[in-house]
Amino acid sequence: MSSQNENQEVRSPVRFKAFGWLMQRITGVGLLLFLGLHFWLQHMPNGFLATAEEYNSILRELGSTGQEFADAIAEGALKEALPGEHVITYSKVLERLQTPLWKMIDVMLLFLALSHGMLGVSRSLGDYMHNERLRKIAVAAGWTVSVLLAWQGTMAVMSVGMN
């Protein structure tokens, strides 16, 4: 039994795995910080969200300026805030993302989450897919998707307020 274990370890790229293990911890600690901040930012009552009163007046203004908004309100795709609700809204996001530091924070979160998540996915795949070739293909596909998502996400955040 133990000789079987040793064989398995010799076959697998041990150092690469150890690097992944370390990176998972480093990105994990980073995420603790950035995801904690993200949660506070997007959910807790703070100046980066609109209060119910603010949001309802933003909504009235949007409805009177653009046909697209007026239609969305009529269809119920945009709706008034409930009392006490704190709402994510474009003008507030724009206000914050006008500061380069906030953009960097979002991009850091993006990279940390993607690399940490993908390291975890490839480890899980390693546990369940015993066919080496198939697994390598799956992991490569995963990283390719991650790179595309990283590009997509960076573009989305960086281009806010740039036009």
Partner 1 sequence: MQENIERSGQSRNRPSFRTFLFTASSYRKLAGMSAWLLHRFTGLALVAYLVLHIMGLRSLADPAAFEIYVTTYRNPLFKIAEAILLGSVAFHAFNGVRIMIQDAFYRSERQRQLFYGVLVLTFVVTLVGGLSIIFPYFIAPMLP
Which residues are near partner 1 by CB under 8 A?
A: 1, 5, 8, 25, 28-29, 31-32, 35-36, 39, 43-45, 52, 62, 66, 68-69, 72, 77-79, 81-85, 87-90, 93, 110, 113-114, 117-118, 120-121, 124, 127-128, 130, 145, 149, 152-153, 156-157, 159-160
Q: For residues 91-130, which are near ligand HEM according to CB under 6 A?
A: 93, 97, 106-107, 109-110, 113, 116-117, 120-121, 123-124
- Shortest distance (Å) from residue 3 CB to ligand HEM: 25
SS3 78: coil
Taking the CA atoms of residue 60, residue 65, residue 69 and residue 70 in that order, the dihedral angle to the nearest 10 degrees is 70
Partner whose footprint covers residue 6, from partner 1, ligand HEM, none (CB < 5 to 8 Å by kind): none
- Shortest distance (Å) from residue 70 CB to ligand HEM: 23
In a 10 Å sphere around its CB, with 0-12 CB exposed, 13-18 middle and 19+ buried, how is residue 13 labelled?
A: exposed
Distance between CA atoms of residues 14 and 75, nearest Å: 57
CA angle 106, 93, 162 (to 5 degrees): 80
Q: For residues 19-48, which are near ligand HEM according to CB under 6 A?
A: 24-25, 28, 31-32, 35, 38, 42
The alpha helices in 44-131, defined as continuous H runs, are 52-65, 67-75, 90-97, 100-128
